[in-house]
Structures are given as C-alpha cells and as structure tokens.
Structure 1
Amino acid sequence: MSNAKVKKIVIVGGGIGGLSAAIALGEIGIETEIIELKQKWEVYGVGIFQPPNALRALNELGVANTCMEWGYSFDGMEYCDAEGNRFAEPQSPKIDGYPGLNIISRRTLHSILYEKAKSVGTKFRMGTTIVDIHQADDQAQVKLTDGSMLTADIVIGSDGQNSKVRNLIFGNVEQEYLGQAVWRYTLPRMEDITRSTLYYGPNAKAGLVPMSEDEMYLLLTTSEPGNPRMPEDQLDQILRNRLVDFGGKIAEVREQIVDPKEVVYRPVFSYLLPSPWYQGRVLLIGDAAHSTAPHLGQGASLAIEDAVVLTELIQQGLNVTQLLKAFNDRRYERCRMLVESSNQLVKWEFLEWEGKMPDDVNVPKFAYETLANMNEAI
C-alpha cells in the first residue's frame, strides 16, 4: 500500500465521534469532509457525562474549557435507596487539572464541536449517506445516495451503533440487547442537586444529574424484557408509572414529567466488533466499533479518544496499513475493558432486583476502579 502522506479523510457520521475526528484532523492540516444522513442537525438526547479522560481528550481538541463553562462540574457522587437515604458517597477518580465529572447538554456539546469543526475547515455534506465503498491501493472511493462520488486516503465510519459503513465492510452484525432501557427527562435543577445522585429502588435505578446552573435531568434504568416498542404519545405517563416505587426527590419531580415528546427512551444495546476494526483504508471508530451500555458514562469519551489517538498516530508519518494497525493496537483492549465492565454492571443490577446480588460485590468500588483505569494515558 502507498506510503503517501494522508491528505484527505472522509468521515461518515456527524455525531460526537465524527466531529471530534474532523477537529483533530483539521488541526493538523488534513482535509476532512463529513457525510451526514440528516438534512439538518437534530441532536437526540438530554445530558452527557464528561469524566476526566473525556475532558483530557477534549482539551486536545481545544474545547474542554468551553465544555466546562457551559456544563456543570463536580466531584463525587451519591448512592441512595429509593427514599433518598444515602448509603455511599464514592469520590471521582481525577486527573490533575480536571474536575471529577462535567455534565453538559448534548445539544450544547454538539454546537461546540460543530462550530470548532467549521473553524478548522471541515466540509459538510448533509442529507446523504454512503451506498458503496470501493478500495484501491492508493485511495478509497465512496459512492453516496445523492449520486456523487468522493475519493479519500481513509474513510472513517463514525455512524453509530447501526453503522452503514460497518455493514458494508464487515457484513451485518447483531448487537446484544441487554434487557434494559434508559429513560431521561430534562427538568429545572433543584438547588441541592449539585452532583450526580443515584437512587436504587426494588426494580429500577433512578438518578438526578445537574447539567447547568438552571437544568438537571432525571434518568431511570428499567428492565424491559423483549425490547418492547413504547407508544411515543404515552412516554410521559409510562415514565411516571415506572417511578412509583421512589420517594424523596424523585417523587417530588415525578409529576413534572408531562410532555411525551421530551422523554428520551433508549433500549440498552452493547456491541464490540472483533479485532481488527479496519479493512484496507476503512476504519471504524466510536459506537460503530464499540457500543457500550451507559452505566459508566464513557461511550462518548471513547469516541473522542479515538479521534485524538488516530490524529496522534498520523503525525508519526506511518503509512495507512501501519497507521490503522497501530490505532487498533492502541484502542482495542481499552475499549473492550470498558464495554465488558459496563455489561457487568447491567448484570449486577438484574441480580439486585432479583434479590440475588452476591454479598461480596461492591458496585461503587467497582465503578471507581474502572473509571480510574480510564484515567490512565490513552
């Protein structure tokens, strides 16, 4: 394969991973073009966790301080029973110079990343996606649904859990449904909600998470056997019903859930693409390669790290074959550990709800140790 320097990269998918890659690559002078299926940006979701390793990677993109200005930072968490009685206050593992956790609105984060990507010269092609990828020794050619063709040195698939790029290169893959779903709803922040607080009920886990001075969001994790399809016009009523076992602050905010359109409901899937995550000149990053349950709040962090590591390796002057192998070698075990640790937390929650949790399991300690591992150098 050609040893020519990487000059242009086509990025399929304009979410957190795709925008982060465009920023990092643009900063070192590589031409990037993002292919986005949506005709206009419609950011889906509520708030997003930014642990220290995410902030460290965002600092490489030049946007960490902006994220902390617009988000809500704090150290430590609270674990409570269903009535709000605290039983653990684990500290957050930290990296010098960063808070233990920053929470930010997904829409705000997208806006920050989008504006930064534009500032480094990223091109955007909206309302289209890929149909096919043809690879040659010296380039990859991408055919789009609008009939146009693009050529690039590398094609990055950052198009999420249901990646079209992944399906084209590796064939259709089956993600694992973990039997749970997560509900989220934005609310005015209570004055005394100053850090993420989790409430463990008999059959579900709820939480209140501050994401700005004015806003917080409620989260709820429930068992949903068979991945049922929820009627969208009844999501507020169903969410309120799922919260009946909780007292305290959760009961206080329960009746504020009145708009089904503002309820974000997501079944929990997990997927780790077997190594390697590349073929020829096509590379998968983010959820396309390693989709994780949200229980450790690290999914977006891994995607941002992917972008930073890839750019670092490009600067070493490796040819494409060496580059993609080196990326895979750097990222696979780290992402595998996080995916499997998140899955373990899901399994323990089911055991807890069934009254079968082993006595020797310490969930706060396990979460702390896993996150501390993520703070090690990427």
Structure 2
Amino acid sequence: MKLLHPDFWESYKAIANWGDDDVWWDFIVGDRVGSSQEKHGKDEEWEGKRIAQVRMKEGREGQSTAHRRSLMDVLIKLLPSSADVRFGKRLIGITSTSLPSNSDVRDSKVTLQFQDGTTSTTDLVIGADGVKSLCRDIVLTPTNNADALKARFTGKVAYRGLIPMEEAKASIGEKAGQRIFYLGHGGHVVSFPVEGGKSMNIVAFANREEGVWEGNWVRENVEKELERDYLDGRWGRDVEGVMRLIKSPSYWATFYHPTAPTFHHPTLPILLIGDAAHTTAPHFGQGAGLGIEDVYILTKLLSQLPSTPLAPSNAPSSLVSTFPTQSSPSHHLSLSLPSLFTAYTQIRQPRATIAVSTCNHYGRILDMEDSIISDNLPLLAEKVRSIADTIWGYDEIAEGERGVRIMMGSFAAERGRD
C-alpha cells in the first residue's frame, strides 16, 4: 500500500486493527476429533493445542486487518477530482474500433458497451471484472484454451459472519480480539478483529463434493448445514462458541481459475488483473493480495514507460527516425502497450500460477485432509510456515524493477524491428 500511494497507507492505518506483537497468525487445534494416533491409544489433550505461530519477517509492519467496506471507502476518497469515475456499470461487450486490416495492439482502440446502454471508447482496458469476467473470456478466446476460460469449484464453501466484539468476548474471551486459525478435520475457522476492534470477522470453511457447482454461488438460510458442519459435537468450545453467534448464516462457494496462457489480448488493448486474471481460493487473503500486487506492478510499468515512443507500426520506414518524441499521452501509451503487456505477463503469470496452486493445496492442509501431516503437529507447523512464506514472501519491489527491465528490453527489440 505504501508503494501504491502514501495517502493510501496513512488512510489504511486509520481504519486498520493492529496486533500487539510480531505474531502474524496463531494456528491452534480447533476440533475434538484428535489424531489417528490418539484414537489408537495415545490419549493426550488435542483441542486448543498450539500448532504454530507465524511471525513477521524483520522490517515488516505489524499484522493488521480491515473490513473490506472500510477499505473501499478509503480508496474512493483518494480518487482525484479530475477522475471520471462511474459506479454501477455492468460490461456486456467490447468491440474494436480499428480498421479490419489492423492486427497490432498499438493501432487499436476499443469501445465498451454497458448494460445500461452507454458506451465508452478507450486506448486501454484493464479488466478487473472479477471471477465471472467478460474480459477474461475475450482475452482467452483467441488462445483456443477453453479449459482456462471459466472458474472451477474448489470443493469448499466459506461461511462468513461479523460479530459485535462484546458478544464475541462474552463467548470466547480475549481470543476474540486475536488473529487465529482454528484447524480441524474437514474444515477450519479464521477469526480476527475489524472495524477498529468493534467487530470480530469470521470465515469458516467446510467441504462439499468437488465438481461442477450448481445454482447460486451464495446460499442463504443454511442453518441446518451450519449445524452439520460445525455444531455436531466434533468441534471445540471456542469454534462452537463463535459459530453459534452467526445470525442468518450464509455461505459462498469458493473457486479458482486454471492457469491462463496469457493475461492480455493478442491484438486488442485489454489486460487482466485481479480475479479476472487469477481467481484463487481465498486462504491467507490471497485473492485481495494478488490483486494489490498486480496493481503495483502495473503502476510501476506505467510510470516507467519509455519517454520516446515508437513510430506506428504502419508508418513508412522513412518516418521512423523523424517521428516526433512529444506526442499525446494516449498515443504514447498505445505505442508502448506490446512491451508493457509482455513485461506484465512475464512477471505476474508465474507468481499467480504458484499462488493459486499453493492456496488450493493449503486449503487441504488447513482442513487436515492429509492424515500423515495432521497426525504430526510439528510437521503440520512446518508445512504451515513453509506455505505462508511462499505466499507472503513475495518481493514486489524487486519484481517491479525486473518488470521494468523486461519492458525496456522488449521496447528496444520492437524499435529495432520497426
């Protein structure tokens, strides 16, 4: 956030809830089932046992959390008054306004059609339209990779609840104000404070049959399913305590995207970010985390566009050396898009592929589905720390600089060819 905008970070600090120490997350046993070893005669306390503490790396800020709604309010307030921002739009189509003979992204403009009948013509579309992205369909259709078009069900659903902190503390004490993963066989619960400590946020995962998810992605009035998943006596006092506080429970099916062969269209100025590019299971907040990383890398590349644009690809060769170095921002941008797209995809695609795969695997680890790992708490702790380091150990500054080098190299190569 600091790298994106200094005021973003300062505004975030005002709404965030901060931990008192260097503990990022606490992982404890949340169920009463016990390990298979215990079932075979090794009787020891299982519920409430600490599995691991994931701590901050040196130089990192303390752990913090914020409610999504509050974060969106902060972002909106940071928009400049000159920005033409329009909410409540639903994209239904994108068409090229270039001549049919043009097949170069540098020569392309596109028109966006919205459900309310309005249109907008632009030099660049940054597709951040979520897990059901139309932009993703348009970008990937030319690749003939149908398997990558649509999101797939992870086999897990997520209950969500926002509990007044007073109620939460009355149920489980001071743990309500801490950041805790409660792990168990067949599910796990994440709890942490939000809204300046006034509320406790709960996300609780449960298994469903893998395959194609039918019907609505969000399901309301699921009291009976909640009872079956978390109130059947398998879970410990703390987990049962917080889950009973959820009023009118609902859950979200969780999805992931298969790896996309590219994050940009071959001939149109369309680039994918966020869930449109790489929907992932939401473990460790990676959906939002990857999106923020995308924005930083893209911002870094846009800020370092070459100062001397290329001549248009259809310009006579005699004009290349005399093409003016001062041109309109939109013209400058369109000439640099191939290099920018190349750099962005080379930086973000490998990172997203690893993160999506890791999060899918991580969900199974957290739900103790691997008996070899779940029966061995030290091994489980080692696995949790290793995966956390993979997910959170990304060096966005170094990757941003590498992206700039890739972009400049691609730009120089394009200049030589043209």
Q: State TM-score, norm by structure 1.
A: 0.75
Paired with 2:65 and 2:345, the residues of 1 have a C-alpha distance of 29
How much does 1:120 deviate? 5.7
Q: What residue in structure 2 maps to residue 336 of structure 1?
A: 353
CA contact (8 A) 1:76 1:89 kept: no
1:187 aligned onto 2:160 = no
Paired with 2:59 and 2:258, the residues of 1 have a C-alpha distance of 31
How much does 1:225 deviate? 0.7
More helix by share: 2
1:89 aligned onto 2:45 = no
Q: What residue in structure 1 maps to residue 238 of structure 2?
A: 249
Greater mean alpha carbon deviation, residues 118-127 or residues 159-168: 118-127
How much does 1:181 deviate? 1.1
Match of 2:225 among 217, 223, 238: 238
CA contact (8 A) 2:297 2:396 kept: no
Q: Which runs of 5+ in 1 are unaligned?
A: 1-54
The root-mean-square deviation of aligned C-alpha atoms, in Å, is 2.6
CA contact (8 A) 1:130 1:165 kept: no
Match of 1:215 among 199, 202, 213: 199
Q: What residue in structure 1 maps to residue 13 of structure 2?
A: 68
Paired with 1:140 and 1:316, the residues of 2 have a C-alpha distance of 24
Given residue 218 of structure 1, which amino acid in structure 2 is its aligned partner? I
Q: What residue in structure 2 maps to residue 52 of structure 1?
A: none
Greater mean alpha carbon deviation, residues 121-130 or residues 322-331: 121-130
Select the structure of larger CA radius of gyration. 2
Q: Which runs of 5+ in 2 are unaligned?
A: 32-46, 99-106, 307-335, 400-418
Cα displacement string for residues 203-246 of structure 1 (whole angstroms, at most 9, x for unaligned residues): 22123222231111222111111546589452244324421222
1:175 aligned onto 2:117 = no
Q: What residue in structure 2 maps to residue 112 of structure 1?
A: 74
Given residue 10 of structure 2, which amino acid in structure 1 is its aligned partner? N
How much does 1:97 deviate? 5.3
Greater mean alpha carbon deviation, residues 222-231 or residues 180-189: 222-231
Q: 1:219-368 maps to which residues of 2 (within 5 A)?
A: 219-226=203-210, 227=213, 232-244=219-231, 245-260=234-249, 263=250, 265-279=251-265, 280-318=268-306, 319-349=336-366, 352-353=368-369, 355-357=371-373, 362-368=382-388
More strand by share: 1
Paired with 2:275 and 2:49, the residues of 1 have a C-alpha distance of 34
Given residue 82 of structure 1, which amino acid in structure 2 is its aligned partner? G
Q: State TM-score, norm by structure 2.
A: 0.69
Instruction: Provide the aligned length of Structure 1 versus Structure 2.
Output: 318
| SS of residue matched to 1:89 | strand
CA contact (8 A) 2:156 2:253 kept: yes
Paired with 1:348 and 1:68, the residues of 2 have a C-alpha distance of 32
Paired with 1:251 and 1:144, the residues of 2 have a C-alpha distance of 45
CA contact (8 A) 1:132 1:144 kept: no
CA contact (8 A) 2:183 2:366 kept: no
Paired with 1:62 and 1:120, the residues of 2 have a C-alpha distance of 17
Paired with 1:138 and 1:376, the residues of 2 have a C-alpha distance of 30
Seq. identity, %: 21
CA contact (8 A) 1:134 1:142 kept: no
CA contact (8 A) 1:142 1:149 kept: yes
Q: Which fold has the larger relative contact order, with Cα–Cα distance below 8 Å and residues 6 or more apart in sequence?
A: 1
